Structures are given as C-alpha cells and as structure tokens.
Amino acid sequence: MKPIDVIVPVYRGLQDVKDCLDSVLNSKCNQSYDLIFIDDASPEPEVSAYLQAEAKKGEFTLLINEENLGFVATVNRGMRLHEDRDVILLNSDTQVANDWIDRLVHTAYAKDNTGTVTPFSNNATICSYPNFCQDNELPKNLSVAQIDDLFALCNPEASLDIPTAVGFCMYIRRECLTQLGYFDLETFGMGYGEENDFSQRAISMGWTNQFALDVFVHHTGNVSFGDEHNELKHAALGKITAKHPTYERQVHEHIADDPAKPYRERVWLASLKYSAVPFVVHISHNRGGGTARFVEELSDELSSLANSLLLMPSVAKPGYLSLSQVFTHSEALAPEESGYTLYFHAEEEKAALISFLKSLPVQSLHYHHLIGLPKWFQKLPKKLGLPWFIAVHDYYMACPHISLTSTSGNYCEEKGISDCNKCLSSSIGINEKNIETWRNSFKLFLEGAETCFTPSNDCQQRMEGYFPDATFATVYHQQSQHFSDVGSTGSQNEQAGSARSRVVFKVIVLGALSKIKGADVLEALAVHCKQESIDIEFELMGYSYRDLVSAPNSNLTVSGAYQESELQALLEEKIMHQEADLIWFPAQWPETFSYTLSAAIESGLPILASSIGAFPERLYGRSNAWVLPRDASLELLVNTILAIKKKVFEHSDVESLCEMVGVARFVDSGYRYKNNYLASTATPSIFAIRKDGKDKVGQWVRMFMLHLNSGQTKRDKFRVNLLKLLVRIKFLPIMSSVVQRIPQSLQSQIKTKLLK
C-alpha cells in the first residue's frame, strides 16, 4: 500500500502543536506515511518559528500559506499534494498513540465501500468518550496511550456506520475523494461543516462513513476557531441541511440509537482494572445531601493521588448495590447512577462484587454511612484484605435516631443508657430496643478503622464518649477554609448600615428545614413577632417539613427550594438589594458540620446560631457571629435579634452580645487528607494492559459486563424510547414550523437530559 498523507493544518496554539507533533512522531505504525504540517499564516509568531525550526530535522514536510486561507482551503491544498494517496486529516490540537494509523487503515479497507473513518475521542460529538455527545476532559487515571490500548484490546477490529465523519481525525480513501472531489470551499469558507457535507455526499454515492471503535485520539477542541466556534457551528448547520435535507434526521436517529454505547462501556469497565492510579472505594447511603457533597469534594481533592468509586444502595434498582465512578464538579448533590454503573444484588451477588473489587487496584475503603446497606458490609474490608477509614457525618452508630434527638424531635441531651432504652422502646420503625446492643454492633468496625474522621471537635468528643477505643480525628470539611478569616471586623451588611432608611430587620433562614433543624422554632418566633408588632421579618430560603404559618398570619415568607450551586449568588443579590441583615440557624440537634453555615460565612452577613454541635467552634472569634442556647425563649431570641439589629444598623457595641459568644474553639488536629490519608496504606499493584493482552482483557470485561448491562432500568428504556419519539415528531413536515420556534439552547438541554 502506498504511503498515507497525514495532514495537520495549523493556525494557533503552540503547546497543542508541540504535543501533536510529538505524539505522531512517537507513535509506532507499520503503515508508511508522510507527515505534512501546513502553517495557515498563524497569527502567533512562536508557532511559525517552531514549525520552521522542527521542519529542518527532516521528519515532516512543512507547507506555508502566505495568507490565511482557512481550514477548508488549507486541507484541500494538503489533499492535492499527492493525488494517488489516502489521507488523514488531523487537527493540530490532537494527540495520537501506538499503532493508530494501522488500525484506521484496517477499518478503511475492511469493507469495499468505506469512504471515511473516524476514531473515538474525548471531544468528538457522536464519537465522544466517556460521555456521548459531550466534550470530556481526558480521564485522569490513564494516559492517551493507555486509553488507546484499552480501545484496541476491548474492541478489536470493530466498527459501525455513522451518518458523518468528525473532522478532528478523519481518514479518507483516495477513491472516495477522487469520485466526490475536495471539500466545498465555496459553501463552507473558513471552515466548519465541510466534513459533514463530504460525508453526506459520500453516502449519496454509495460510500459509508465508519466509526473505528478500536482507536482513541485525544482532542483538546476548538483551538483554531476559539470564540467563533458556536457562531460558525450554527451557520454551518443551516448550510448542511439546505444541501442535505435528511442530514439532521440521520444524526438524531443515530443519537437515539447510540449503537456505540456497549463499546464505550467495555472500555470504561476495563479502565477501572487498568487504572494507572489506585482507587478509593467510598461506601455511603443514597440520600445525597452533605454526605454526597463531601464525597465529591474529597474525591476532587485527592484526584492527583487516587481515583474514587462510590458504592451505595441503588436508587434505580431496589435491592441492588450500585458501583460507579465519582465525577467531580457536579451541580447535582444527589447521587446519580450514570450509564457507567455496575449493579450487584445485595445478597445474591455478594461474591461477584467482592471478586470484582479484588480485581481492581483498590487501595482502601472509606465508609461514609451504613444505612440501607446489608450487615455484611462491615466485614467487607477483611474479605478484601484492605484497610478502611470511616467518616462520621451523623450519629447513626451511636443512636438509630441518627441525630441524637428523641421521638419528639428534640435533642435528647444524651442522659444515659436507661433513657436511651426508654426512647427506643417507644420508637416506631426502629427494631433495636437495646442501645448497648446497637452500639456494640459497630464497636469492632470503628475500632478497626485506620482513622474515624469527624468534621468538628464537638462531634469527635461525643463519639469518643460512646466508642473510647476507636481512633478519631477532627478534620474539617472544605479543607478548613472557612476558618481563615477568624477575627474579621465586620460584614458587608455592617459596612452598608449607614445607608439604611428602613426599620424592618430581615432575618434569613437557609435550607430544607426539619423539626430538628428548627422549623417549629422559626414558625413560633415569626408568629410572635407578628402578634407583638415587632419589626423583624423572616424568610426561609428553602422549604420546611410541613407548611408553616406564614404571611399575612406571621412575619414569615417561604421562598422555596434552590440549587446548592446558586446559594451564594442568591445571598449576594439579597445583600445588594438590602433584603438580608442576619442569617439564623435555629438548630435543635448537634449538627456535625453544616454546608449552609459555610455559605453564610462566605456571604459576610452576621450570623446567629444555636450553641450546639459544630456551630460554636466554627463561629468562634467572629465579630459578627453569636450563639444562643438551642432552647432559648422567644423573649431571649427577640431581644438578641433586636440587639444585633441595633449593632448592624447603628454600629453600636452591645455589651450583652459578648456574653453570648460560644466558648468552643477551632481545633486543628494537624491531619491533612493529601498528606496523611493514604500514607499509612500500601499502594496496590497496577496491572499492565499490554502484558495481559487481548484475550485476558476481553475475558475479564465479558465477565463483568453482565453487571453493567443489568443496569438497563425501565426508566432508561423509557428515556430512549421518548428520545426516538421526539426525533420522529420533530421531523414530521407539519412540525417544522413549530420546532423552529423552540430556541436551539432549549432543544439542546432536553436532548442532554435524555442522554444522561
């Protein structure tokens, strides 16, 4: 076979160009090829200088456009260089590996009518991995070469038809190119859409566009076009659909069918076994909230040392356990079971789960909660021969009520075993009636852990009282960042106080308010202020476990739920419009941390909280924060808030407030996750991909793909069928005018939701 021309048009992005050149030259291909870089009059002199210097080494051909011609004209110039050769169009912001050309050639000639070939990439729309039709960062646990190895071993010589090639890396057979002609310069000008047009022309002439499922090429994305990307993209789509009326429907139907899904799943599964860094398996409940947020934050903090898996009771499949990768920077704080989730029946497939975890490079287990999990989970570390850590997010192991509250919803005051047993005997829905039996069931589990982390010193002291032989350490969430401004001189609101003209003092309460978080106290105080004509207004930014008496029958308004990621912006907006003067936490139980308190601290607003749990130590030393007894009378609450009002509005020093400052202090244990967390555990052996070879990799993947495929729930099937139905409806002639009125952004959002 004649040499292949690998054509790389270059416009900008020096580091990308360097990485691309190095990757091509370092790849090991049997197929002969000529590498051709074309400098399209780069606006970055360092790019042109680098290419000219490297070209002198004789390892590639450099063509230079005297003026900027744009992508289409530039690649057309390259494809005309040798008119008897196949070509590979390769973006300058890509990285290739191994024998990538050999595998593309095999796919190109496996069928007589193959016109184009496109590999997998992290950023390639319908050819994207790991998330379909999304731009993905390169997975952190494997290099480009290792990911490409997995594609080669998991999907050997596999390919399928696609409606269009994707231009980041596009193999074109010369016979197809000769018959169709070059890219349409007149229509697509500077670029974008030309490869889609070429692909559609190929289909019309009997050629196919193949997706090479055994090749992976890393793609940074949009380096050449920069901010023009979206504008060019939308303009190109109109031109393509004008030339090829069925194009958009073909693409949408392909997306709905997603035939490459099992091939992506195989590689993801193998990527766990052959990860270049070890894993920590986080074990938790499936209720989301602060626990899920902490798992995500810790996973992100440790991402340079270890990757994270989350094992929990399945939300989608009751009776099963779900095991999935922890994806950081997610807006959703509730656990989500993505397409990349393994399911194991909690009892019947226990051995399979243990076998799977043993086959991975797992370094340790980190328990966050046991609620909803089978009892044998406490013995899992011993079965795996692994060390384990425990994060104490609440008091579940000390009391089945979890929050140290009685059946009435009030703090139990931890009076002793006799009172605990009386409480349990009257508790509905709790089977265990002996508190000592309950605590003893967790004793060995806690004592055997490397470390039991508590997110506040208050929590540590309480847990040590119940489990004195366990090793506890206070390690604050969020890397203790909210202690950095202890001793601050005032809030944003205090500084704006002189500009105030209103009389009413506005108090904000945050979050989902249960009885133990003070919903009843809030209601009572708001009703009291209404009845006594006291100029204090309350707003619950969130919702309550029941309907609270609100305006006009009390001084309370309820604004409803918010997204966690939006909270800081919402508070800033209220400060700007002078709609918030104080944030109040009326908690009735010893909270172990409180992420909403972190948001309150970041807002700079004055804070009033109950002197229980983590609040006193986290607020200690702040000039604009105070604590009161959790059972403070309505009179004391009113007088305190009015005193704070005077301080905020008039900048007066109120002596009585000083008496309310908590005595607890910030306690620094010296423990840091990055420094200490994994240092005491041995690093597991990392499996070699190439050493195991195709047969061994394939056998292992087939064994556990059964658990991945079993995750196809009724909800998944409904979602796919709904997407297909929407595609059919969208392209009905009668619907065209209706669809045109729906903003493209909204259509994209709907599609993204259905693809998740």
- Lowest-confidence pick of 214-223, 268-277, 414-423, 729-738: 729-738
pLDDT in the model for residue 261 = 93
Residue 399 CA to residue 463 CA, distance in Å, equals 11
Q: For residue 118, give the nearest of 68, 165, 49 by alpha carbon.
A: 165
Token digits of residue 82: 């040798």
pTM for the complete prediction? 0.87
pLDDT at position 495, please? 43
Q: Which residues are registered as beta bridge partners of 492? A: none
Contact 31, 102 (CB under 8 A): yes
Once rounded to an integer, what is the mean pLDDT over residues 80-104? 98
CATH code of 148's domain: 3.90.550.10
Asked if pLDDT for residue 701 goes beyond 70, the answer is yes
Task: Report the pLDDT averaged over residues 157-181.
Answer: 98
* Cα–Cα distance measured from residue 644 to residue 15, given in angstroms and rounded to the nearest whole number: 56
108-117, 529-538, 662-671: least confidently modelled range: 662-671
Q: Which domain holds residue 147?
A: 4-259
Please say if the pLDDT value at position 655 is more than 80: no
Tell me how far apart the alpha carbons of residues 534 and 536 are, in angstroms, rounded to a whole number. 6
% residues pLDDT > 70 (the chain): 86
727: confidence class by pLDDT, cuts 50, 70, 90? low
pLDDT greater than 70 at residue 583: yes
Domain boundary among 259, 289, 324: 259
Whether pLDDT at 756 is above 90: no
Task: Read off the pLDDT of each residue in 506-530 and give the average, rounded to a whole number.
Answer: 96
Interval 178-183 mean pLDDT: 97
Give, for 9, the enclosing helix (H) or strand (E). Answer: strand 4-10
Cis amide leading into 552 (omega within 30): yes
Confidence (pLDDT) at 338 = 65
- pLDDT confidence tier of residue 490, bands split at 50, 70 and 90: very low
Assess if residue 296 is contained within a domain.
no
Q: pLDDT digit string (tens) for 594-619?
A: 999 999 999 999 999 999 999 998 98
Q: Which one, of 90, 38, 92, lies nearest residue 67 by Cα?
A: 38
Q: How far apart are CA 594 and CA 289, in angstroms?
A: 10
- pLDDT tens for 300-330 read 998 888 999 999 999 989 999 999 988 654 4
Sign of CA dihedral 47, 49, 50, 52: positive
Residue 630 lies in a domain: yes
Range in 56-65, 163-172, 575-584, 677-686 with the lowest mean pLDDT = 677-686
CATH of the domain at 506: 3.40.50.2000
pLDDT bracket for residue 736 (50, 70, 90): low
d(CA 668, CA 363): 26
Q: Are 71 and 191 in contact (CB under 8 A)?
A: yes
Q: Is residue 710 in a domain?
A: no
3-state DSSP assignment of residue 431: coil
- 106-112 mean pLDDT: 98
User: Tell me, what's the pLDDT at 733?
Assistant: 58
pLDDT mean over 730-742: 54
Look up residue 443 and give its amino acid. Answer: K
Instruction: Supply the pLDDT for residue 661.
Output: 47
Query: Does residue 201 sit within a domain?
Result: yes
pLDDT value for 330: 42
In a domain, 397, yes or no: no
Confidence of residue 411 (pLDDT cuts 50, 70, 90): very high
DSSP, collapsed to helix, strand or coil, labels residue 723 as: helix
Domains in the chain, number: 2
The residue type found at 425 is S
- Residue 353's Cβ-count burial label (10 Å; 0-12, 13-18, 19+) is buried
Domain boundary among 631, 658, 685: 658
Residue 129: is its pLDDT beyond 80?
yes
Domain-located, residue 361 = no
Which pLDDT does position 496 carry in this prediction? 43
Q: How confident is residue 734, by pLDDT bands cut at 50, 70 and 90?
A: low
Q: What is the pLDDT of residue 494?
A: 45
Give the span between the Cα atoms of 146 and 692, in whole angstroms.
Answer: 13
Tell me whether residue 683 is in a domain. no
Mean pLDDT, the chain, integer:
88
Please say which residue of 242, 259, 276 terminates a domain: 259
When comparing pLDDT for 679 and 112, which is higher? 112
Mind listing the pLDDT tens digit for each residue in 532-550?
Answer: 999 999 999 999 999 999 9
Select the more confidently predicted residue: 622 or 342.
Answer: 342
Decide: residue 303, CB within 10 A, 0-12 exposed, 13-18 middle, 19+ buried: middle
pLDDT-derived band at 489, boundaries 50, 70, 90 = very low
pLDDT digits (tens, 9 = 90+) for 617-654: 898 888 888 999 999 999 999 999 999 998 888 776 65
Instruction: Report in angstroms the alpha-carbon separations of 307 from 225, 300, 369, 705.
Output: 33, 9, 20, 21
Q: What is the DSSP letter of 413?
A: T
pLDDT, position 255: 92
**pLDDT the model gives residue 498:** 43
On whether residue 340 sits in a domain, the answer given is no
Helix, strand, coil shares, percent, the chain, to 5: 45, 15, 40
